[in-house]
Chains A and B, each alone.
Chain A
Amino acid sequence: MAHSYTPGLTVTEHTTIRRRRMLSLPGSVLVATGETVRANQAVARAELPGKVYPLNLANQLGVAPDEIHEYLIKKAGDPVQKGEILAENKPLIKWLKTEVLSPITGIVESISPVTGQVLLREPPRVLELLGYVDGRIVEVMPQQGVVVETDCSLVQGIFGIGGETRGEIVIAVTSPDEALTPRHLTADMKGKVVVGGSFVSSDALARAKEVGVAGLIIGGIHDKDLRALLGYDLGVAITGRRVRLHPNGRKNIHASFRSCGAAGFYFRRHANSCRCHSARNHHSQRRRRTGRSPRGNRAAAGRHPDRRPGSHHSRPVIWKDRRSRKSAARAPEDSDRE
């Protein structure tokens, strides 16, 4: 089995974490420093500009681009309703009349006398940014976002799909070695974050969907089952139609027990053996090599109800290269505290 070194993954019973919650475009922050927030509470809001619909009026009316102003009923900035007349010509014979109707409800954003194009825009969509964890606001960045701090248990996974979710944590298996099967998933797990063991089968995934769990945290999955679940092949990519995740946007979506429905997947190699990635082992390795204590950035998590220290498999970290590779990731000077 190949060996890898993945820095910063943590499993810890108690820690204080800070999560930076940032809008993707400037908006307004709804909370103040020191305020207590809930995970599902909006902490910031922005308006995402609506979709744009270009219409080439010059072409549709059969006139030169710099003449379209003579035919316009609406001007730039005017609101329009779907089906409303945007422009019309005035022929001598009435039945030769051409009317250009608005395909959307929105506003007339711009009219170009160079290209003869009119751009219509749908109303903006409100984007709300949620708190992500129950905690307190420790920093506000005006127009951009906030930093939320909370005390919690933390389990970091390496990889997840499906974005953020939240729910009560339920431990479905008796040990990390145990695979999650359909029989582990019961109707009372609806809306909860279910912690499985070493592996999830396609049957168990189907059952989880049927039950309506909020999230699954597991140690391994077959690539083919993941493909079937997503409907496409997951690949970290920068360009092209297969873009699903981006190296930089690739969130180490951390398996955590309170507010994130992501999983610490390890793609399974053999049907009867599966590795569960252990941050704790990496840390002990790192301590041995560097003498420094690891302090990775932690994802949000609530308190683990049934944490058993050292319950993960061991995965030694070996660098194999032409030259010695002794260094390990250094502790970041981030805001997290253990």
Chain B
Amino acid sequence: MAFQELAKTAHPLNVIVATDCGSTTTKAILIEKVGDEYRQTYRGEAPTTVEAPFEDVTRGVLNAIAEIEELSGRKILDGDKILTPNRAAQGDPKTGVDIYISTSSAGGGLQMMVTGVVQNMTGESAQRAALGAGAIVIDVLASNDGRLPHEKIERIRTMRPDMILMSGGTDGGAVTHVVEMAEYISAAEPRPRFGATYKLPLIYAGNKDAQPQVKKILGEKAALVLTDNIRPVLERENLAPARNKIHDLFLEHVMQQAPGYKKLIEMAGAPIMPTPAAVGVIMETIAKREHLNLIGVDIGGATTDVFSVFEGLFNRTVSANLGMSYSISNVLAEAGLANIMRWVPFTIDEQTLRNRIKNKMIRPTTIPQTLDELQIEHAIAREALRLALIHHKSLATALKGIQQERTISDVFEQQQSGKTLIDMLKLDLIVGSGGILSHAPRRVQSMLMMVDAYEPLGVTRLSVDSIFMMPHLGVLSTINEKAATDVFVRDCMVYLGTCVAPIGQGKDGDRCADYVITFQDGRVDKGTLSFGDLRLVPLAADQKASIAIQPAKQVNLGAGAGVAVTREVQGGVVGLLLDGRGRPLQLPTDHASRVAALMKWYQAVDLYPVLSAEK
């Protein structure tokens, strides 16, 4: 992979400064070697400056690093330059850093348009290739997407992607459709988002027999790169070559054009990574190291990135219109007012709420100052997380359109190809990252936001990125795995606890399950979980407990309805959450009952301070 180049340094890495240039804020962290291990020591943050009036991403980077300077007392900047290497050898250990590294999703990240022949076959494969490379897919064009030719051309003309990925056809198959798409692209004369004079990077990863025609049609009009077919045969995807080309072109072309990125690339000692790609590296590493099925989420200002690893298969999606600042209006539009307000234990008139949301959109660094504002933000976050997971489920699927062998036993259960790979019952760990989750005033708020949004089934562990540093560690891992692992284990990952959620529904107060929790010190906690109950059992991060659950007759904990389950559960800073609210989670429909239910749940887990005082 392009990112796994050696860093531009020969000296040992003892002091590292890393930034993540998000769409709203630029976050800098300082990592220092303390004894034999690396630790994250200081953090700085400043508004991102990729847009007008600054239009230079490095201003925000320097501001964030300047904050680290102020907090740590270390001299890192010399004017607009980062002092490298660290001057410890010259007897001045408090001056300079050994390397500066960065990730970026600012300015809309890497925006791609992809094309295929059949929308849910090569179109989806192309989409997965682009998403896997950390891109935002702004549109998928396909021969059968229902749009007329002139509509396709008009769409290509109006969207200004950073890059186009063309796919279509299996090797040796018909070339007509993919050539037709090349003709549309050629006719549209697409222009890149940045820079008026450079050619738009275009990767062709379709039927190899069509390469000469595509070259003839598009060779002059775009910076054409030919690579292996992403779907050489219907039964197999080959995404790696296209993803690598995307990374290469991102660094060679796109980053050179974005405001200030040329300078940023010169400042950095290692290639700049798109933020979703860097977080993906970390998520994949966690899943592989601990042999887990995992869902990870990074909820940002403009986008929400979802990652999953199920049975070793990694998938990543970037929901471009779901976020907590720039995209907050779209969360309202997509989720609907009712869905957002169902999580808020008070009433607010629609106009006030809409005005608040728009104010957040135009002033993306807005931070809630009152409890009701915080509750509204958390409500919006729940919906953004929920919608992003739905999007992820639709794309993290098995290949569609492939031949399936059926036996007589499949007569009564014939499944279509392309089933989602996300199985919430097999899910072991949910990892949350992003400002709203990492900076929630109480960790239990992060936990409940994820539980409400994802509705984990059975027994699921949850964790959160302590102060939002996964992107930084993702890029660090490509140059120094030990440093990334040390910081990840000691400073980044905060285990919140485990959620136990039986599947099934019942009347409030009816028995959902009986449980017996046996703690490591021999203590035993027996109880009955009723429907509508939310219970928090303290269990510290370094503790484990055994929980034996006997669900009610119609209730399932993964082993079948009414079948008892015994599991070992791990603690966390929040503890063990017993969720008897039923799955699928259904909130009362009438206002008074819904508010009462929310108040009961929020008080049960001590979610907000005012509610605690009332209690």
Q: Would you give the 0/1 interface string for A208-229, flagging 1 where the beta carbon is closer than 8 Å to chain B? A: 0000000000000011101000
User: Cβ of A251 and Cβ of B52 under 8 Å apart?
Assistant: yes
Residue in A51, A251, A320 whose CB lies within 8 Å of B369: A320
Residue in A54, A269, A329 whose CB lies within 8 Å of B356: A269
Q: How many angstroms between the C-alpha atoms of A16 and B45 in the bound complex?
A: 31
Which of the candidate stretches A1-9, A94-102, A131-139 sits at the interface with the other chain? A1-9
A324: nearest chain-B partner, CB-CB: B71
Q: Which residues on B sit within 8 Å (CB–CB) of A6?
A: 47, 363, 365
Asked if B491 is an interface residue, CB under 8 A from chain A, the answer is: no
Q: Which residues on B sit within 8 Å (CB–CB) of A110?
A: 183, 186-187
- Quick one: given A238-B108, A320-B369, A327-B70, are A65 and B176 in contact (CB under 8 Å)? yes
Which residues in chain A, 306-333, are within 8 Å of chain B measured between CB atoms?
Answer: 318-330, 332-333
For B139, B175, B180, B355, the residue with the greatest tally of chain A CB atoms inside 10 Å of its CB is B355
User: Cβ of A239 and Cβ of B60 under 8 Å apart?
Assistant: no
Which residues in chain A, 99-157, are within 8 Å of chain B measured between CB atoms?
Answer: 109-110, 112, 114-115, 117, 119, 121, 143-144, 156
Q: Which residues on B sit within 8 Å (CB–CB) of A183?
A: none
Q: How far is the CB of B155 from chain A (nearest CB, A)?
A: 11
- Quick one: given A236-B326, A247-B302, A326-B67, are A269 and B191 in contact (CB under 8 Å)? no
Q: Would you give the 0/1 interface string for B339-383, flagging 1 where the beta carbon is closer than 8 Å to chain A? A: 000000000000110111111111111111110010000000000
Residue in A4, A23, A322 whose CB lies within 8 Å of B365: A4
Q: Which residues on B sit within 8 Å (CB–CB) of A242?
A: 321, 330, 333
B26: nearest chain-A partner, CB-CB: A327
Asked if A230 is an interface residue, CB under 8 A from chain B, the answer is: no
Asked if A77 is an interface residue, CB under 8 A from chain B, the answer is: no
User: Cβ of B367 and Cβ of A319 under 8 Å apart?
Assistant: yes
Q: How many angstroms between the C-alpha atoms of A254 and B111 in the bound complex?
A: 26
Tally B residues with Cβ within 8 Å of A. Answer: 81
Q: How far is the CB of B24 from chain A (nearest CB, A)?
A: 9
User: Cβ of A54 and Cβ of B303 under 8 Å apart?
Assistant: no
Q: Which residues on B sit within 8 Å (CB–CB) of A250?
A: 51, 326
User: Cβ of B367 and Cβ of A4 under 8 Å apart?
Assistant: yes
Q: How many angstroms between the C-alpha atoms of A119 and B183 in the bound complex?
A: 9
Q: Which residues on A sit within 8 Å (CB–CB) of B356?
A: 2, 267, 269
Q: How far is the CB of A303 from chain B (nearest CB, A)?
A: 20
Q: Which residues on A sit within 8 Å (CB–CB) of B165?
A: none
Q: Which residues on B sit within 8 Å (CB–CB) of A247?
A: 23, 51, 107-108, 302, 326
User: Cβ of B180 and Cβ of A323 under 8 Å apart?
Assistant: no
Asked if B439 is an interface residue, CB under 8 A from chain A, the answer is: yes
User: Cβ of A267 and Cβ of B355 under 8 Å apart?
Assistant: yes
Q: How many angstroms between the C-alpha atoms of A297 and B59 in the bound complex?
A: 12
User: Cβ of A25 and Cβ of B196 under 8 Å apart?
Assistant: yes
Asked if A235 is an interface residue, CB under 8 A from chain B, the answer is: yes
For A156, A226, A236, A318, the residue with the greatest tally of chain B CB atoms inside 10 Å of its CB is A236
Asked if B137 is an interface residue, CB under 8 A from chain A, the answer is: yes
Asked if B83 is an interface residue, CB under 8 A from chain A, the answer is: no
User: Cβ of A326 and Cβ of B355 under 8 Å apart?
Assistant: no
B351: nearest chain-A partner, CB-CB: A224
A24: nearest chain-B partner, CB-CB: B196
- Quick one: given A52-B150, A327-B45, A328-B46, are A223 and B51 in contact (CB under 8 Å)? no
Asked if B184 is an interface residue, CB under 8 A from chain A, the answer is: yes
Which residues in chain A, 24-41, are within 8 Å of chain B measured between CB atoms?
Answer: 24-26
Q: How far is the CB of A277 from chain B (nearest CB, A)?
A: 8
Asked if A338 is an interface residue, CB under 8 A from chain B, the answer is: no
Q: How many angstroms between the C-alpha atoms of A234 and B326 in the bound complex?
A: 11
User: Cβ of A114 and Cβ of B179 under 8 Å apart?
Assistant: yes
User: Cβ of B321 and Cβ of A2 under 8 Å apart?
Assistant: no
Q: How many angstroms between the C-alpha atoms of A6 and B325 in the bound complex?
A: 13
Asked if B193 is an interface residue, CB under 8 A from chain A, the answer is: yes
- Quick one: given A4-B365, A52-B150, A329-B59, are A143 and B197 in contact (CB under 8 Å)? yes
Q: How many angstroms between the C-alpha atoms of A234 and B64 in the bound complex?
A: 31
Which residues in chain A, 287-301, are within 8 Å of chain B measured between CB atoms?
Answer: 296-299
Q: Which residues on A sit within 8 Å (CB–CB) of B186?
A: 110
Q: Which residues on A sit within 8 Å (CB–CB) of B50?
A: 248
- Quick one: given A6-B365, A252-B51, are A329 and B189 in contact (CB under 8 Å)? no
Residue in A25, A240, A265, A328 whose CB lies within 8 Å of B63: A328
User: Cβ of B183 and Cβ of A158 under 8 Å apart?
Assistant: no
B61: nearest chain-A partner, CB-CB: A330
B438: nearest chain-A partner, CB-CB: A322
Q: Which residues on A sit within 8 Å (CB–CB) of B351?
A: 222-224
User: Cβ of B362 and Cβ of A158 under 8 Å apart?
Assistant: yes
- Quick one: given A22-B196, A248-B51, are A234 and B329 in contact (CB under 8 Å)? yes
Q: How far is the CB of A326 from chain B (nearest CB, A)?
A: 6
Q: How far is the CB of B226 from chain A (nearest CB, A)?
A: 17
Q: Which residues on A sit within 8 Å (CB–CB) of B362?
A: 158-159, 265, 267
Which residues in chain B, 135-168, are within 8 Å of chain A measured between CB atoms?
Answer: 136-139, 149-150, 153-154
Q: How many angstroms between the C-alpha atoms of A320 and B193 in the bound complex?
A: 35
Q: Which residues on A sit within 8 Å (CB–CB) of B46?
A: 327-330
Residue in B70, B187, B354 whose CB lies within 8 Å of A54: B187
User: Cβ of B355 and Cβ of A26 under 8 Å apart?
Assistant: no
User: Cβ of A330 and Cβ of B62 under 8 Å apart?
Assistant: yes
Q: How many angstroms between the C-alpha atoms of A322 and B52 in the bound complex?
A: 28
Q: Which residues on A sit within 8 Å (CB–CB) of B12?
A: none
User: Cβ of A54 and Cβ of B184 under 8 Å apart?
Assistant: yes
User: Cβ of A297 and Cβ of B53 under 8 Å apart?
Assistant: yes
Asked if A257 is an interface residue, CB under 8 A from chain B, the answer is: no
Q: Which residues on B sit within 8 Å (CB–CB) of A270?
A: 352
Residue in A3, A22, A24, A327 whose CB lies within 8 Å of B367: A3
User: Cβ of B369 and Cβ of A1 under 8 Å apart?
Assistant: yes
A6: nearest chain-B partner, CB-CB: B363
- Quick one: given A7-B49, A223-B354, A327-B46, are A332 and B54 in contact (CB under 8 Å)? yes
Q: Which residues on B sit within 8 Å (CB–CB) of A248?
A: 50-51, 107-108, 193
Q: How many angstroms between the C-alpha atoms of A52 and B352 in the bound complex?
A: 45
Q: Would you give the 0/1 interface string for A191-210, flagging 1 where the beta carbon is closer than 8 Å to chain B? A: 00000000000000000000
Q: How many angstroms between the C-alpha atoms of A330 and B66 in the bound complex?
A: 9
B191: nearest chain-A partner, CB-CB: A25
Asked if B327 is an interface residue, CB under 8 A from chain A, the answer is: yes
- Quick one: given A327-B64, A327-B70, are A2 and B188 in contact (CB under 8 Å)? no
Which residues in chain B, 60-102, are within 8 Å of chain A measured between CB atoms?
Answer: 60, 62-64, 66-67, 70-71, 80
User: Cβ of A4 and Cβ of B366 under 8 Å apart?
Assistant: yes
Which residues in chain A, 55-69, are within 8 Å of chain B measured between CB atoms?
Answer: 65
Q: How many angstroms between the C-alpha atoms of A22 and B359 in the bound complex?
A: 30
Q: Which residues on A sit within 8 Å (CB–CB) of B23?
A: 247
Q: How many angstroms between the C-alpha atoms of A333 and B62 in the bound complex?
A: 12
Q: How many angstroms between the C-alpha atoms of A329 and B327 in the bound complex?
A: 22
Q: Which residues on A sit within 8 Å (CB–CB) of B59?
A: 329-330, 332
B302: nearest chain-A partner, CB-CB: A247
Q: Would you give the 0/1 interface string for A64-93, flagging 1 where the beta carbon is closer than 8 Å to chain B? A: 010000000000000000000000000000
User: Cβ of A156 and Cβ of B53 under 8 Å apart?
Assistant: yes
Asked if B320 is an interface residue, CB under 8 A from chain A, the answer is: yes
Q: Which residues on A sit within 8 Å (CB–CB) of B53?
A: 7-8, 156, 252, 254, 296-299, 332, 334
Q: List 22 A-B contacts (CB under 8 A).
A: A1-B370, A2-B368, A6-B363, A8-B53, A8-B54, A51-B154, A53-B150, A54-B183, A65-B176, A112-B179, A112-B180, A144-B197, A223-B358, A237-B327, A238-B321, A297-B52, A297-B54, A318-B367, A324-B71, A330-B63, A332-B53, A334-B54
**10 further interface pairs, Cβ-Cβ under 8 Å (given A3-B369, A119-B187, A267-B356):** A4-B365, A7-B49, A236-B361, A237-B320, A242-B333, A297-B54, A319-B367, A327-B64, A330-B46, A332-B53
